[in-house]
Amino acid sequence: MATNAELAELPAKQARSRLTRDRLLAAGHHLLERGGFEAISIADIAGEAGCSVGAFYHRFTDKEAFFTVLIETFMAEIVADAKRSTAPDRFAEASIETTLTSFVAYWVELFRRHQGLLRTVIKKTLHAEETWTPLRQAGQAALEPFIALLAAKCGKSDSRSFQYRALTGFQIVSGVVINATLHRTMLLNLESDELTAWVREILRHCLFDELPPALLSLGVPMLPASNAVPRDAD
C-alpha cells in the first residue's frame, strides 16, 4: 500500500488513482478473509471499495490479475513487518527463550489474524509451481530476519549448521500451522494454546537440543553470497 509520504509526492490525479487502487486491494483482502476467491465477484470488490466496476478494470485486467497484485502486496507487507518486528533493539535485553517465544507468538498470531486470506492463497497457489514458488520465497524472506536475530543472540551468525537447523525447524512448524489454517484439526487447532506450545517446543528442539550428526549432515542451506560463510561442525 502507498504511504502518505509517497502519495504526497504524486500529482493529484495519480495520487487519487493510487488511493483507489489501494482501496480495491484492501477491499479484496477484507472479502477474502470472509470467503473464497471463487465466491467473490469483481462487483463485490468494487462495491466494498466504494468504487465502480469500471474503476476496477481501469487498474486490473481481470480478477486473476487483481489476485496476483493483492498477494504480492500482502506478502511484501509481511516481509516488511517481519523486519520491523525483529529490530535488534527490541530484543536487546531479552533472553534467547523469551525471544523464541515472541517469534512463535508473532507467527501464530499472523496466521490467526489472516486465516481466511491465507487459506485462499494456499489453496489457490499450492499446486501451481509458477504461483507457489514466489509465495514460498516470500515466506522464507519473512523468516530470515527472525533466524538472523536468533543466530546473533546465540553467537551463531556465522554458523551454517544453525541456519540449517533453523530453516528445518521453521519448515516443520510452518507445515503444522498451515495444516491448522486449512483444516479444523482435532489436535493443534489454530486458535489453541496447545498449538503455540508445541510449535515453540519443536523449534526449541530443532535449534538447541543435541541432534544426531548423521541428521545434520543431510544438508546445509544455500546462503546469499553476501552472507556466505564456511561450513562449521557445531
In the chain, % helix, strand, coil (3-state, to 5) comes to 75, 0, 25
Single pTM value for the model: 0.81
Q: Are 151 and 159 in contact (CB under 8 A)?
A: yes
Domain 1-60, CATH class in plain words: mainly alpha
Q: Distances from the Cα of 31 to the Cαs of 16, 44, 121, in angstroms?
A: 22, 8, 13
Q: Are 59 and 24 in contact (CB under 8 A)?
A: yes
Span 96-147, pLDDT tens digits: 999 999 999 999 999 999 999 888 888 887 777 777 777 888 888 999 999 9
Structural domain spans, the chain? 1-60, 67-223
Q: Is the pLDDT of residue 222 over 80?
A: no
Q: Are 47 and 41 in contact (CB under 8 A)?
A: no
